[in-house]
A = this chain, B = another copy of it.
């Protein structure tokens, strides 16, 4: 006969081990991925609410909505505005004004949370993958890490894959329909690519992906800090021509 007592003990032990494993599977990777996802979401939301706020505030001050293009400045101005309506805008009740300002305050809170999460992301990456942080910047670096899944996987990817991380949609379109293959993924927003001469962009992307791949490896194996050297090299190679 099976000894039920022993079996239940084994079961308990197994559950304990499993729970322990779940607990220890939480890495800084997941923190970074969650942070960048939320920053992206906040970005979208801030845009949506800025648009809605513009639409609403335009009733009392249409001129300002045209004049102030930057969303953050706009939100601050709405919060500071003293009611009464502009030349073309309607004079609002106190209630209407309070409602519009409540929306502006919410948008402002969203901006502040985004700023805070960006700082948190930088701080976390500074301790976990400083080379990737310095070479790619917090946003691009975190997105690369997210697309790869973890720092470990990012470190094990070929540099040509790193170059295309974030361009999966275009890549599969290329494979499926034979459309032109993408040249860059998330790194397209990097300053090195942006400031490279048009003919050099492809080359710059390859070199940057190469260095990024190395940076991820150095970070994963807890090597020394070398991203500043990489960045200097790349800048000298690709941004010099602009100065001539």
| Interface check A76, CB cutoff 8 A | no
Q: How large is the interface on A (under 10, 10 to 19, 20 to 34, 35 or more residues)?
A: 35 or more
Q: Which of B19, B55, B103 contacts A117 (CB 8 A)?
A: B103
The answer for the CA separation of A27 and B43 in the assembled complex, in Å, is 32
Q: Which of B45, B88, B103 contacts A23 (CB 8 A)?
A: B88
Decide if A90 touches B37 in the complex (CB within 8 Å).
no
Decide if A95 touches B123 in the complex (CB within 8 Å).
yes
The residues of B that contact A109 with a CB separation of less than 8 Å are 106, 109
Q: Which of B48, B59, B62, B124 contacts A30 (CB 8 A)?
A: B59
The residues of B that contact A49 with a CB separation of less than 8 Å are 41, 45
Q: Which of B62, B88, B102 contacts A116 (CB 8 A)?
A: B102
Decide if B22 touches A62 in the complex (CB within 8 Å).
yes
Which residues in chain A, 96-127, are within 8 Å of chain B measured between CB atoms? Answer: 96, 98-99, 102-103, 105-106, 109-110, 113, 116-117, 120, 123-124
The residues of B that contact A60 with a CB separation of less than 8 Å are 26
| Interface check A6, CB cutoff 8 A | no
Interface of A toward B, CB cutoff 8 Å: 19, 22-26, 30-31, 34-35, 37-38, 41-42, 45, 48-49, 52, 55-56, 59-60, 62, 85, 87-90, 92, 95-96, 98-99, 102-103, 105-106, 109-110, 113, 116-117, 120, 123-124
